Structure 1
């Protein structure tokens, strides 16, 4: 799936929705590092995109970087709280609690 989205990106289309789609596609295929690149760009473009923060944390976790995962979820919780996204806030809070302590 990510191939068609990568073609759009190569043609100069770059927006949070495209980056979210690319990140999710890579994550669904089990490629955390590749997913993290696109999801990080997504939240740079739209810092209030709480769903992207949630997946960015998952991507970092999959890539073996719990510190980056923790940071993404903490930022995502703040974004979700600022925009009243209670479901994303709850999910990321659970993910943080399940993450191994520092």
Structure 2
């Protein structure tokens, strides 16, 4: 599904964490980091236990040079991923966090 169709779903009131995650992912692919941050922030607000949203949220924040916020997102994402047993996501976010210094 394309970004326009997903945005139309959102406008029609079908707001949920998965829709926001998907929109954030598409925005990142289209290099629209500001909109990605907007959607991914809402995704983690709606479902704080979705580690993939935290990972992309951190990535979008890095794209906007908001490193301190990205560190916080990755730290929260790592905690969520570890609590859920999502070892791969925790490792990936750990690498991204180290790259931030």
SS of match in other structure, 1:64: coil
1:71 match = 72
1:92 match = 93
May I ask how many residue pairs the two structures share in their alignment? 100
Name the TM-score, length of structure 2 as normaliser. 0.96
Q: CA deviation at 1:63?
A: 1.2
Q: CA deviation at 1:69?
A: 0.8
- Note the aligned Cα RMSD (angstroms): 0.7
**Structure 2 unaligned regions, length at least 5:** none
Q: CA deviation at 1:2?
A: 1.3
Offset from partner CA, 1:10-38 (integer Å, 9 cap, x none)? 00000111000100000011111110110
**Structure 1 unaligned regions, length at least 5:** none
Name the TM-score, length of structure 1 as normaliser. 0.95
- Contact 1:31–1:62 under 8 Å retained in 2: no
Give runs of ≥4 in structure 1 deviating > 2 Å.
none
